[in-house]
Structure 1
Amino acid sequence: MPKGKGAKGTKVTLKVAKRAVRITPDGRRRLILSKMGIITFPKCLLKLTNVDELDLSRNMIQKLPEDIGRLSWLRWLDLHSNKLESLPESMGNLVGLTHLNLSNNCLTSAGLPASLGALTGLTSLNLGLNQLDALPATMTRLDNLQELGLFDNCFTKLPECVRELRTHSKVNTRRNPLGDGEETPGVKPEPGERTFLVHESSLCRKCFKRCKEQNGGGGGGGGGDADMCEEKRIRTYKGLMVPNSVAAVDQDVWRIRKSVQ
């Protein structure tokens, strides 16, 4: 457990971090420091060269250190539900990343560095629930991107770099003030659809089976909150689902924190 919590938030030591590392079923080393009241990014994490996956979601981190680029060995980084307003240029050094979740922060377009285009190994990027109205033009380099979440932002038109992406399978731009005729490539809109982030462990057996059936038999799916899933028809949206997100709450609830600031 953390040493303690004070004005600077929970303090995470190297010893605490090492004890929190777990081995995933596929053999990767995952460090989970979610929901710990962390305000300042723990610099000690830069010394953990054998960690493949890092989860710092649901904290209160406002800024990432410039030397976060030293974590070039990371494959999976989850920073959803923090208070980030910008990203350092060194993010472009995280060339090993395949999954990056930055949803539910306070990111603005001015705070996205051009170096994001250097993360050419990304297959999943979640930028939903932020304050974005444009994307770096360099993102056209993300040739391996399969899932891009842009939902709940401020886009009035589809970013040109999204139009130029050729290999992506899903892009979610729901609940943006897009103008008429602004359709997302590769996505067929379904009127009235509501989308949720949910981890399969939060679903009952019946609803998990239903998700798999609607998702074409895949291993994961999206649905309503576990307490509500019996009352609602579960809709799936592969492009929104990010493997490193363990959120099991309605996105409307996620917005509460931002609306009361």
Structure 2
Amino acid sequence: MGNKQIKQHLETAQKTGVLKISLQRLQDFPPQLKTFPNVLKTLDISENRFVTLPEEIGRFTLCKHLNVSGNRLTELPEILGNLTKLEVFIAMNNMITNIPQSMANLKNLKQVNLSNNQLAKFPTMFCQLTHLDVLDLSRNKIVEIPNEVKDLYVTELNCNQNQISILSDNIALCPKLKTLRLEENCLQAKAFSPKILIESKISNILYEGNLFNPKEFNSLEGYEAYQERYTAVKKKMF
């Protein structure tokens, strides 16, 4: 993207609050953005070649939608915790290994997509965010869903295609969780304790591609209680 094009995009963004500079093979953050006025509501820098995000990104405290997908990021800066109005954060298709603890400050988050990264630990900083509705952690390297998950407020948690072999039964305490995606992991059937099947609000567990078959799942203690919730939800859809 040439300087003339960037200038045009920036001029428009000052009026609309929307800046989209994706698919431009950018390796460096446009220097004009480092002094850009704090007017952006949407910032889309996806499908470029950024290796890092600059500290200046923390200036955009009005931003509600941030898309940094399809870059070469290995980490995210702590300064992202300043974007307290952020509602949607999309960072799929990078090489991110860690999530900054400061993202626990983002109380308005509704949707987070971190699919296809290099996360080895479940990002517990997203717990206790009461507006968070969907958390997508699919296609990472997570090995355990820990006890802290009890404070996750999402209605849908996607952990497909990880390396999960441990599932804390504290997931039964999630106040809103309805859909739990755990396909293509390393779970045994016994990972789904009676507490999860009987006491949780989860009505849709997707588990294909683990170390057990449907017959084993169907014979678990508490399966009938889970099936009742599953059937009740299906009936409401039709």
- The TM-score range, normalised by the shorter chain, is 0.5 to 0.7
Counterpart check, 1:82 vs 2:98: no
Distance 2:141 2:206 in 1: 21
Distance 2:122 2:64 in 1: 22
Distance 2:123 2:165 in 1: 20
Equivalent residue letter for 1:39: Q
Counterpart check, 1:59 vs 2:53: no
Aligned to 1:91: 80
Distance 1:135 1:129 in 2: 14
Calculate the aligned-residue CA RMSD, in Å: 2.7
Aligned to 1:45: 33
Aligned to 2:3: 3
Partner of residue 120 from structure 2, selected from 133, 152, 158: 133
Q: TM-score, normalised by structure 2?
A: 0.67
Partner of residue 142 from structure 1, selected from 129, 136, 147: 129
Is this contact kept in 2: 1:77–1:100, CA < 8 A?
A: yes
Residues 1:43 and 1:120: Cα distance change in structure 2 (over 3 Å):
farther
Aligned to 1:178: 164
Structure label with greater radius of gyration: 2
Aligned to 2:13: 21
CA offset digits 1:10-56 (Å, max 9, x no partner): xx74x233245398xxxx63211110011112242241422210111
Residues 1:44 and 1:90: Cα distance change in structure 2 (over 3 Å):
same
CA offset digits 1:82-139 (Å, max 9, x no partner): 1101111111001110000011100002xx2110101111000111100001145433
- Tell me the CA shift for residue 189 of structure 1: 3.2
Distance 2:80 2:56 in 1: 9
Q: TM-score, normalised by structure 1?
A: 0.61
Q: Give me the identity figure in percent.
A: 28
Greater shift after overlay, 115-124 or 43-52?
43-52
Count of aligned residue pairs for this structure pair: 180
Aligned to 1:106: 95
Residues 1:81 and 1:36: Cα distance change in structure 2 (over 3 Å):
same
TM alignment of 1:215-226, pairs within 5 A: none
Where is the helix percentage greater, Structure 1 or Structure 2? 2
Equivalent residue letter for 2:30: P
